[in-house]
Amino acid sequence: MKLTFRLIEEKADKSGLCPVFIDFTYSGKRLRAYTGEKCKPSEWEPKKMRFRRSFDGYLSANDYLENLSVKLHSAYRSFVSSGIVPTPGELRELIKPRESIKEKTLIQEFESFVSEKKRRFGKTR
């Protein structure tokens, strides 16, 4: 079982940001998945497989990579202890890239509240 994080420079976007992938090999199988993180090659430390201090938000980004690693290892161990060798697809579902949370504005929240009350109690006047 081996886990690595790699910056794929060949897939750099127009602004020079390269995606960070996780590679996990186990029991003759390989999972390769996008972590949801991107950075410039100068902001990546390949030997440590982590973001450099020059990357804005490097602490939280490195914590995120560490959490992915822990989550993947514990999920794999859980499957194996149950006598199951997981497929790469099963493990991929556990480490989907984090999605941005869209917060509602006060007006959107109020409109949701009003429509829910109308739905429950019917229109008044």
Q: What are the extents of the domains in the chain?
A: 2-96
Q: Residue 101: its pLDDT value, please?
A: 46
Which comes out higher in pLDDT, residue 93 or 125? Answer: 93
Looking up tokens 């504005």 gives 105
Report, as an integer, the average pLDDT of 98-116: 71
Locate all alpha helices (DSSP H) within 41-123, ordered by sequence. Answer: 58-81, 88-94, 106-121
Give the global pTM.
0.72
Report, as an integer, the average pLDDT of 6-17: 95
Q: Sorting pLDDT into bands at 50, 70 and 90, what band is 111? A: confident
Classify residue 3 as exposed, middle or buried by CB count within 10 Å of its CB (0-12, 13-18, 19+): middle
Evaluate if residue 98 carries a pLDDT over 60.
no
What spatial distance separates the first Cα and last Cα of the chain, rounded to whole Å? 66
Q: Residue 97: its pLDDT value, please?
A: 54
